[in-house]
């Protein structure tokens, strides 16, 4: 991962969970990181934490569903570091609801962050990457982009959209040196997943039931997903683009 040394990386949704772990790992391997998140206190704390350990990071308050915010994110990155090499589209929100119970407001909110946000960040990052001679985009999709969950209908729809968008971007901008890949994690021990467990009538029983579905009998830690993101962002994956990398502890390897 020394190939991240002096790379300039934006990580969205980096105030917590997978995004924070990714930003921290990138910084450990020499990248200069821009933490983009709507949560200002947590985002600033994440950036400060990287800097306190000798890394380079700055926080940029960003709602990825807003084109104005995304444009400001790109401008801030260029102003601070002069170029952009890596974009990790990680920001996401989740609302538990079956299709007929999903409100239009919740649908639009999830679409705005989970899919439009990926589109907007890529739209404005890619021209800067091309100007710098190329770059790498890592989109955080989900196994729910190709298998269903009855209580996460909208989330499934938009993560499937991220996978399709990844492939379209890869074939469009590969000739100009921009690689675009996606990661599809299973469950990860993030605040969003912890909330999911804790909302169950018997959280610990539910947690163990979920763990039992995995070949490894556990869910992932955020850093385990970050390690895959670091590989896809680095030159170690130089012949990979349009790939969808499943990181799910064996969850989707069985039928029953």
Active site residues: 155
Q: Which pair of tokens denotes residue 152?
A: 């996460």
Q: Which of 145, 166, 165, 139 is nearest to 157 (CA)?
A: 145
Distance CA 198, CA 78 (A): 41
CA separation, residue 242 to residues 65, 90, 238 (Å):
23, 17, 12
């Amino acid at each position: 991962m020394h190939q991240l040394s002096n790379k300039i990386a934006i990580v969205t949704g980096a105030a917590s969970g997978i995004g924070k772990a990714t930003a921290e790992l990138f910084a450990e391997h020499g990248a200069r990181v821009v933490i983009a998140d709507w949560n200002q206190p947590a985002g600033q704390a994440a950036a400060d934490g990287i800097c306190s350990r000798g890394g380079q990071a700055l926080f940029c308050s960003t709602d990825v569903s807003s084109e104005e915010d995304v444009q400001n994110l790109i401008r801030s990155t260029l102003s601070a570091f002069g170029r952009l090499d890596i974009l990790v589209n990680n920001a996401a929100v989740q609302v538990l609801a079956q299709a007929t119970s999903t409100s239009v407001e919740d649908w639009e909110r999830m679409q705005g962050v989970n899919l439009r946000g990926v589109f907007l960040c890529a739209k404005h990052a890619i021209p800067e990457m091309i100007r710098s001679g190329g770059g790498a985009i890592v989109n955080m999709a989900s196994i729910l982009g190709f298998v269903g969950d009855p209580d996460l209908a909208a989330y499934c729809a938009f993560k499937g959209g991220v996978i399709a968008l990844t492939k379209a971007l890869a074939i469009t901008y590969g000739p100009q040196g921009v690689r675009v890949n996606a990661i599809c994690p299973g469950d990860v021990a993030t605040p969003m997943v912890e909330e999911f467990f804790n909302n169950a009538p018997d959280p610990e029983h539910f947690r163990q039931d979920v763990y039992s579905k995995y070949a490894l009998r556990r869910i992932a830690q955020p850093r385990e997903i970050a390690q895959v993101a670091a590989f896809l962002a680095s030159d170690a994956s130089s012949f990979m683009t349009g790939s969808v990398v499943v990181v799910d502890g064996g969850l989707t390897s069985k039928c029953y």
